[in-house]
Structure 1
Amino acid sequence: MQTILPPPFDKMMIGNSCIALLEYFHQPAWIRRVDGRYVWVNKSFLKFFNVKMEDVIDKVSEDFLPPEIVETSYITEQEVLEKRCSLTFHIEQKQFRTTIHKTPVFSDSNEIIAVAALMIDLKQELELETQLAHAKDFYEILLTYMGECLFFINKNNEFELINKRGKEALNDLGFKGPLPLTYEIWDNFLSNRYNTQGKKYTEDRKIIPRAWKGEVILNEEICLELKDGCQKFFLASATPFRNKNDNCIQGVILTVTDITKEKNLLNTLAQKTKLVEQRNQELHQFAYSAAHDLRDPLRNISLLASFIDEKLKKQDYEEVEFLLKKLLNTAAYGGSLVKNLLDYSAANREIKMEVVCLKDVVNRTITTLSNLIEQAEGKIIFNNLPIVRGNAQQLQIVFQNIISNAIRYKGQDPLVISISAERKSSLWVISIQDNGPGINEDFKEEIFLPFKRVRANTNSRSSGLGLSICRRIIEQHGGKIWLDPQPQTGACFKFTLEGMQD
């Protein structure tokens, strides 16, 4: 059997210029005869496969290349020989990725005598894709778990990107609208938007349209009024997204942070700070007034004692009995003042809460004040008083002080005091109404300050602490107390207490 030899190969068939061009490439290039033996390779080939020229020329691929590359090389080359045209192959394996351009070399008789090839190493591209995949994973995790709501609005005014926190925020706000979300849907849904001054946003002040005009908005506070009347507060930032080539705005990046909790905490802190300042002011006035009011009875007691002493020395007994009664009344007033001061101080301390029957509290109050009520020819009417959460002893002081004031400042008509209760949600509103001369509405705040007396007292002396004590006790119970301006005659005090669950 006669062996058929491949046609002889001469580099002159390709041309020196073509060889020079292949040599110039910084990518592996080679020429291999149809029998598989290499006749020429460039320096990049030797470097890429880490071989020497003598290891390659007139050798076949099996002599120096890994088996997986050899198999792929022969398959692709066979396809070029069969199709007799230039072909491009994309080869990807675990360690590398390449694109190989192969073209047949023809003899003068139009026979294929060799295959020239140029390999483009895509290892760098593979590394970049890996880095890009890692970056994509990183940013997906970042967008998913970041604390801020993130939105990207494209040039069609569609919300192309909404991160996890953004979707949760829309759901919390009650958004049930269609998707994809557009700016028109967004604008209609968030129509009740207000700034920090409580003014509703006009079209020219809305954040997204301003960003489309090129404005960068950073941390602008927005208030949303929800359907249930509640308010939520947000910090919003919007940045135009521009094309690097022509600087045209391609979209808007919007970030939103819910600051409702922080806002409420700041408001609570501001209220407590204001309350502390008010308490400090009251304490300052209290100390001054207490010293002033205690000084008068002590001075009068001392003066009356001196008068009595002089009368006794002169054995002048005519006015001694009168002076003694006056001294005893002054001492009683001083004792009452000290008691009220102690009650006022106790009203500032933490109290133990329990189940309290207000009917029992009022009955005990009437028993305590029975002599005063009888002297005033008074009558106290009440029925169906509720059971509340509170401190019975402290609440008795409240009823006692208000009823005592009604007796002290009663008018010419027989005194009638009516006590009632009205349920409002989880609270009870307690009303104590008398038929006396009433209190001018101008003094509705002043009467609750320590040592304030706004009504003429012709029958007895008052410390001016009673209503101030009442306010402290009711506030300790988590309620409010006020003078109701509605009654046409008399005074009506109202306060709230927490009711017991049914």
Structure 2
Amino acid sequence: MNTREPEALVPAAVDTLPINFAILDDDGTILHTNRAWQEFGKANDIELRPDTIGTNYLEITRQAETEAARTAAAGLSEILTGDRELFEFEYPCHSPDERRWFLMRAAPFTDGDQDYVAVAHFDITERHEYQRRLEESNERLQQFASVASHDLQEPLRMVTSYLQLLEQRYGDELDEDAAEFIDYAVDGAERMSAMIDGLLEYSRVETRGNPFDSVDLEAVLDDVLLDLEWRIADADAELTREPLPTVIGDASQLRQVFQNLLDNAIEYSGEQAPRVTISAARDGDEWIISVTDEGIGIDPTDEDRVFEVFERLHSHEEHEGTGIGLALCRRIVERHGGDIWIDADSDGTAISFTLPAAQSRAE
């Protein structure tokens, strides 16, 4: 056991931190605990009590009967043997009166020629409860979207079918206004159907996404351009593509991002033929992917609003769309841990987003 005075290792400020903190020697023996550790131990009568100084923390956790304690013991053992540099573990610490959650974090450090381990327990109850409520909210959103898709699509199809049947059977007897009214009604039902499908897709980004893997964005873009081949030709669009990287992500969802951004760039090109550039730039551990056009641009005051669900800057008569495309892009990019933003000026619009870089096998 190390004989150096533990107080020399711990700044006075550590003792005032609202974090349960302890220092162990390289065998797992507790050398020092701060005030929060001691007060928590007294209040809960558990292994964090102050009289454990001089005892082996690894043995304390091993003797506990809970699964959480056994997991903590296994992780701490790997830290002490040098098999890992950081151990993090979330666990419950419930009492009859309240339910609380903690994050245990252990990491080795060296002072002079002596090895030590710092152990901290963070109270993450508030964060855990927020995450739980968020997951419940997302689950309710998905349930609502699924019900809406199933229960609303059928009557919409019925409305559309009967309107079209009315036009077919009595078209010769309808005047010009009546025919126009039927067209408006059919168009509205079809747009509503597209919005419902978009809402369902938006709600399933987190729950129906594929596991992350290496994704060749060159191949993703090839597939998207093949799908948009007719639209590109019809708009006489000119696309310039720079080399794209391999990233970590969900190929299917990233394909949706490219398709939405390119479709928007073509749709909002103005009176001139669309001119679109797809580029990429490395920024640390991320890639910044940009889709830039020379179209009508976006007012700077609207650059955040366009990423909201059902937000449209133009009427349906001016430009088609459901108002979900960019919102879906943002949700997908955020699932990948990235950001998405707009740089707009009088010469067009650049929509950029970040994705985690795929490290080489050597790295």
Report the TM-score, using the length of structure 2 for normalisation.
0.57
Among 158, 163, 173, the residue aligned to 1:316: 173
Partner of 2:59 in structure 1?
none
Is residue 369 from structure 1 mapped to residue 210 from structure 2 by the alignment?
no
Deviations for 1:404-449, whole angstroms, at most 9, x for unmatched residues? 2222333122211111111111111111112222222323333222
User: Retained in 1: the 8 A contact 2:215–2:249?
Assistant: yes
Cα shift at 1:400: 0.9
Among 191, 196, 217, the residue aligned to 1:358: 217
Among 193, 202, 215, the residue aligned to 1:344: 202
User: Retained in 2: the 8 A contact 1:286–1:451?
Assistant: no
Partner of 1:481 in structure 2?
340
User: Retained in 2: the 8 A contact 1:430–1:495?
Assistant: yes
Aligned ranges 1:42-53 → 2 under 5 Å: none
Cα shift at 1:336: 3.2
Matched to 2:355, the amino acid is L
Cα shift at 1:361: 1.0
Partner of 1:18 in structure 2?
none
Aligned ranges 1:369-388 → 2 under 5 Å: 369-388=228-247
The CA RMSD over aligned residues, in Å, is 4.5
Q: Where do 5+ consecutive residues of structure 2 fail to align?
A: 20-32, 37-117
Matched to 1:308, the amino acid is E
Among 336, 351, 361, the residue aligned to 1:493: 351
Q: What secondary structure does 1:380 align onto?
A: strand
Distance 2:253 2:327 in 1: 13
Distance 1:443 1:280 in 2: 30
Is residue 431 from structure 1 mapped to residue 272 from structure 2 by the alignment?
no
Cα shift at 1:221: 5.9
Distance 1:388 1:483 in 2: 21
Matched to 1:316, the amino acid is E
Matched to 1:333, the amino acid is R
User: Retained in 2: the 8 A contact 1:361–1:395?
Assistant: yes
Counterparts in 2 of 1:458 and 1:409: CA distance versus 1, 3 Å: farther
User: Retained in 2: the 8 A contact 1:351–1:391?
Assistant: yes
Distance 2:251 2:349 in 1: 24
Counterparts in 2 of 1:372 and 1:307: CA distance versus 1, 3 Å: same
Q: What secondary structure does 2:292 align onto?
A: strand
Deviations for 1:241-282, whole angstroms, at most 9, x for unmatched residues? xxxxxxxxxxxxxxxxx997627x468548747966986998
Is residue 396 from structure 1 mapped to residue 255 from structure 2 by the alignment?
yes
Cα shift at 1:395: 0.7
Matched to 1:167, the amino acid is A
Distance 1:221 1:384 in 2: 50
Partner of 1:445 in structure 2?
304
Distance 1:353 1:497 in 2: 12
Counterparts in 2 of 1:286 and 1:461: CA distance versus 1, 3 Å: farther
Distance 2:352 2:132 in 1: 26
Distance 1:296 1:488 in 2: 44
Distance 1:294 1:461 in 2: 20
Cα shift at 1:381: 1.4
Is residue 420 from structure 1 mapped to residue 279 from structure 2 by the alignment?
yes
Aligned ranges 1:151-166 → 2 under 5 Å: 163-164=5-6, 166=7
User: Retained in 2: the 8 A contact 1:408–1:459?
Assistant: no
Distance 2:229 2:142 in 1: 33
Distance 1:277 1:437 in 2: 40
Distance 1:295 1:439 in 2: 37
Cα shift at 1:167: 3.3
Partner of 1:39 in structure 2?
none
Matched to 2:262, the amino acid is I
Distance 2:162 2:289 in 1: 45
Larger Rg: 1
Is residue 168 from structure 1 mapped to residue 9 from structure 2 by the alignment?
yes
Q: What secondary structure does 1:484 align onto?
A: strand
Distance 1:272 1:323 in 2: 48
Partner of 1:65 in structure 2?
none
Among 317, 336, 348, the residue aligned to 1:458: 317
Distance 1:386 1:267 in 2: 39
Distance 2:350 2:295 in 1: 10
Counterparts in 2 of 1:466 and 1:385: CA distance versus 1, 3 Å: same
Q: Where do 5+ consecutive residues of structure 1 fail to align?
A: 1-140, 146-161, 171-185, 194-217, 223-233, 238-257
Counterparts in 2 of 1:316 and 1:431: CA distance versus 1, 3 Å: same
Distance 2:144 2:220 in 1: 32
